[in-house]
């Protein structure tokens, strides 16, 4: 499936209810082996070699963004050192304030461990919520991960080989927002809102190094 066809199909779906259709379309899109090259070519034609507007962070590309959803292509490297693990934010328990669908695109795929939050929102800092049983999924090509906004905690374990995944982020309806996304310690106690702040800081540092080079 072409990216343009995927975007048009999603516009016809109810993003709150048509989960099975969204998953099937995302799987079909993941069969497209030229997504990145097509995206980079279109970006260079439009913006020249300034690709910062199409980057999500140092290891992810925004393939499409509109008011309803964002589609990203993320790369996941094996991590042998603490610095590498921090760069990819592996083994960090966190939640998201948006719905996410992810499908394995290439490589063996990272492993994710998820647990459902059983308590009512909002969460309280340093107070461990009641949690469901841990579930484990390896995001190999064709495998799909779905997580609702705010109600699941997950952490990612590095893949064995360089891997990639496609992620569809369904933007939250702000008037329905009940809580922030949180980072948690190893015992699942909420520490502070937002894993994105760490990603942004890493991305900014990387860009500054590129600009000085």
Q: How confident is the model over 162-206, as pLDDT tens digits? A: 999 999 999 887 646 788 899 999 999 999 987 654 444 444 444
Which helix (H) or strand (E) element contains residue 55? strand 55-57
**pLDDT score of 207:** 44
Average pLDDT of 28-36? 97
pTM of the model: 0.86
18 is a domain residue:
yes
Per-residue pLDDT band for 117 (boundaries 50, 70, 90) equals very high
- Lowest-confidence pick of 21-35, 40-54, 78-92: 40-54
Residue 211 lies in a domain: no
Identify which of 110, 114, 175, 174 has the alpha carbon closest to the alpha carbon of residue 148.
114
Give the full edge-to-edge strand order of the sheet including 99-106: 55-57, 60-65, 69-76, 163-170, 99-106, 144-147
Average pLDDT over residues 1-21: 95
pLDDT, mean of residues 85-97: 85
Asked if residue 137 has pLDDT above 90, the reply is yes
Residue 115, helix vs strand vs coil: strand
Question: Is 193 part of a structural domain of the chain?
Answer: yes
Domain count, the chain: 1
- For residue 40, name the pLDDT band (cuts at 50, 70, 90): confident
Q: What CATH number is attached to the domain comprising 190? A: 2.60.120.10
Read off the pLDDT band of 52 (50, 70, 90): low
What's the rounded mean pLDDT across residues 23-35? 97
Q: What pLDDT does residue 56 have?
A: 54
**What is the spatial distance between Cα 45 and Cα 150, in angstroms, rounded to a whole number?**
38
What does the alpha-carbon distance between residue 137 and residue 145 come to, in Å, rounded to a whole number?
8
Residue 33 maps to a domain: yes
First-to-last CA distance in the chain? 38
**Residue 84 backbone zone (phi > 0: left; psi -120 to 50: alpha; other: beta):** alpha
| Residue 175 within any structural domain of the chain | yes
What is the span of the domain harbouring residue 188?
3-198
């Amino acid at each position: 499936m072409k990216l343009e066809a995927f975007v048009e199909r999603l516009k016809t779906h109810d993003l709150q209810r048509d989960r099975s259709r969204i998953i099937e379309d995302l799987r079909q899109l993941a069969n497209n082996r030229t997504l990145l090259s097509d995206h980079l070519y279109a970006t260079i034609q439009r913006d020249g070699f300034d690709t910062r507007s199409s980057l999500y962070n140092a290891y992810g590309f925004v393939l499409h963004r509109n008011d309803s959803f964002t589609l990203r292509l993320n790369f996941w490297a094996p991590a042998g050192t603490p610095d590498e693990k921090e760069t990819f934010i592996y083994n960090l328990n966190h939640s998201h304030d948006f719905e996410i669908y992810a499908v394995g695109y290439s490589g063996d795929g990272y492993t994710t461990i998820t647990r459902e939050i059983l308590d009512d929102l909002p969460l309280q800092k340093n107070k461990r919520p009641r949690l469901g049983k841990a579930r484990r999924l390896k995001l190999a090509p064709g495998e799909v991960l779905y997580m609702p906004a705010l109600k699941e905690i997950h952490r990612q374990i590095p893949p064995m080989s360089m891997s990639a995944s496609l992620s569809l982020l369904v933007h939250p309806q702000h008037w329905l927002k009940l809580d922030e996304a949180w980072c948690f310690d190893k015992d699942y106690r909420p520490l502070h809102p937002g894993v994105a702040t760490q990603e942004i800081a890493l991305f900014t540092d990387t860009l500054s190094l590129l600009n000085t080079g």
